[in-house]
Amino acid sequence: MGFIISETGAAQSKTLRASKTFGETSVRIETDLPEALSAAVSEILLCRVQLEEYSRLQPRFRTAMEPVEIDYVAPEVVKRMAGAALAAGVGPMAAVAGAIADLAVEAMAQTRARIRVVENGGEIAAESLYPVNVEVRSGDPLLNTRLGWVLSPSRMPIGVGSSSATQGRGITFGEADVATVFALNAATADAAATAVCNVVAGEDIRGSIRKGLKIAEGIRGVVGALIVRRGHVGTLGDLPELVEFRP
């Protein structure tokens, strides 16, 4: 399960959209300035190089399923991943997509762009003067219509992360069809979504959803969550507006 950037509230003629592939990851960028797009791409490439080098020196960082200690001289992307993983109680790679999206959006801010949105492997970091529509992609029949969230500027910066036992390639130990988390940044949302999805399991469907929401509530930086499992839904916090998009 994941998300795609559907559109922003800005005039379409002023909005630039680009899709890039970095290794095994697809990234979508939305902005209003060409230089912001270049800044985002450069930051993503830098993060990937730094992460690969750090993982070569510290191989456990890439394979650990729980938080790990890092060197104080570690690159910023590594620090962001480790911090989010510690807050959520998961391995640092659970926050990799979100952390890179956060840093790309921050790099775009240096250009004074008014629209700064990055979707990295389904995790989204957004900071914009205009509303941002984010479309849900899910294998659950409950969400098979074109539904999505409207992220308002008053909620930004915001991070959106998702995890699923039935969709995508991410590692999860749970059974949630959809575990979506909204947080103050994408790294936290990414790691928290993994932690939430991991505990949504067992024969008691409603009880497993309540357990997942309890986990989300205890993670610093999380502002809202939604869990879907076998047609049952649970929510936490003040969620963005959920709307149905026209085909």
Quick check: 113 pLDDT over 80?
A: yes
Quick check: 3 pLDDT over 50?
A: no
Quick check: 210 pLDDT over 70?
A: yes
User: What mean pLDDT is predicted for residues 219-231?
Assistant: 94
Q: Say which residue, 198 or 8, is predicted with more confidence.
A: 198
> What's the pLDDT tens digit per position in 36-77?
999 999 999 999 999 999 999 999 999 999 999 998 999 999
| Residue pair 226/234 in contact by the 8 Å Cβ criterion | yes
Quick check: 7 pLDDT over 80?
A: no
Burial class (CB in 10 A: 0-12, 13-18, 19+), 105: buried
SS (H, E, C) 140-194: CHHHCCCEEEEECHHHCCEEEEEECCCCCCCCCCCCCCEEEEEECCHHHHHHHHH
pLDDT value of position 58:
95
> What's the pLDDT tens digit per position in 15-42?
899 999 988 778 999 999 999 999 999 9
What secondary structure letter does DSSP report for 245?
P
Determine the 3-state secondary structure of 241 from DSSP. Answer: strand
Quick check: 2 pLDDT over 50?
A: no
User: What mean pLDDT is predicted for residues 113-127?
Assistant: 95
> What's the pLDDT tens digit per position in 90-112?
999 999 999 999 999 999 999 99
Quick check: 143 pLDDT over 80?
A: no
* Measured distance CA(156)–CA(109) in Å, rounded: 13
User: What mean pLDDT is predicted for residues 125-151?
Assistant: 76
pLDDT value of position 242:
85
pLDDT value of position 13:
46
Is the pTM higher than 0.85? The answer reads: yes
Quick check: 237 pLDDT over 80?
A: yes
* Measured distance CA(45)–CA(59) in Å, rounded: 20
| Residue pair 192/222 in contact by the 8 Å Cβ criterion | yes
pLDDT value of position 243:
83
Q: Which of 125, 126, 73 is CA-nearest to residue 95? A: 125
The mean predicted confidence, pLDDT, of the chain is: 89
Quick check: 155 pLDDT over 90?
A: yes
